[in-house]
């Protein structure tokens, strides 16, 4: 099967909008591959921290991104043979990943690695620019969002469940700051593309959001078959 014929569902959106959870559930339901593009940037951030690299040296960071030794297996993420699934979810990694993603050199180094995940029978991926830049010909593009306050509450609960203490006001500040940085960066800024469907999950359960995505995808598949 030619790569461009392999179906792709992209779910883009701001931090803590729930796009990763929804993307994984949808992928599992229709038995597609899943790519968490944010994990790649977080892996670059983690390696940057581990190697004490200069976070202002874009070329050095691009080399780190290009030569990352990573493996995704059985819902675990490995960096140079070590499991780092939880390590990359630390707030420090998330904030640094957002900064690194603003460098064109880093984004270019990861672009082809992301596109390589497009394998039969299909792919569901989430991120900031999956539909607008990485897979512009995606079968279904979704921009998934929620209010900053709702996203802060969700992130707070996630951290609490993991036994990590957090301050609601600080989390809200960090989320708004990251939204601003992601939306205003010069390369692949966060935003809803003209051909993406808006899905606001502020008042939706996870199940309702998942069903909406599946309904939209099935609608497209049905139209293509008649």
CB 207 within 8 A of CB 25: no
Residues 6+ apart with CB under 8 A from 18: 144, 146, 154, 201, 206, 209
> Three-state SS for 124?
strand
CA 168 to chain centre: 23
What are the backbone angles phi and psi of residue 110, rounded to the nearest 5°? -95, -15
Name the binding residues for ATP: 13-21
What residues are designated binding site? 13-21
CA 69, CA 112: separation in Å to the nearest integer? 15
């Amino acid at each position: 099967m030619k790569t461009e014929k392999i179906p792709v569902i992209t779910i883009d959106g701001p931090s803590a909008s729930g796009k990763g959870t929804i993307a994984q559930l949808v992928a599992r339901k229709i038995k597609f591959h899943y790519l968490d593009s944010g994990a790649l940037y977080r892996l670059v951030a983690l390696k940057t921290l581990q190697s004490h690299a200069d976070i202002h040296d874009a070329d050095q960071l691009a080399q780190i991104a290009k030569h990352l030794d990573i493996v995704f297996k059985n819902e675990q993420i490995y960096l140079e043979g070590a499991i780092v699934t939880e390590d990359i979810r630390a707030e420090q990694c998330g904030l640094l990943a957002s900064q690194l993603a603003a460098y064109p050199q880093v984004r270019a180094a990861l672009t082809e690695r992301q596109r390589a995940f497009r394998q039969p029978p299909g792919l569901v991926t989430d991120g900031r620019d999956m539909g607008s830049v990485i897979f512009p010909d995606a079968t279904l593009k979704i921009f998934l969002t929620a209010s900053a306050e709702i996203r802060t509450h969700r992130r707070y609960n996630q951290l609490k469940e993991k036994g990590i203490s957090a301050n609601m006001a600080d989390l809200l500040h960090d989320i708004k700051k990251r939204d601003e940085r992601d939306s205003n960066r010069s390369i692949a800024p966060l935003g809803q593309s003209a051909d993406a469907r808006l899905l606001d999950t502020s008042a939706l359960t996870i199940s309702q959001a998942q069903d909406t995505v599946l309904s939209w995808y099935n609608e497209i598949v049905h139209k293509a078959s008649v």
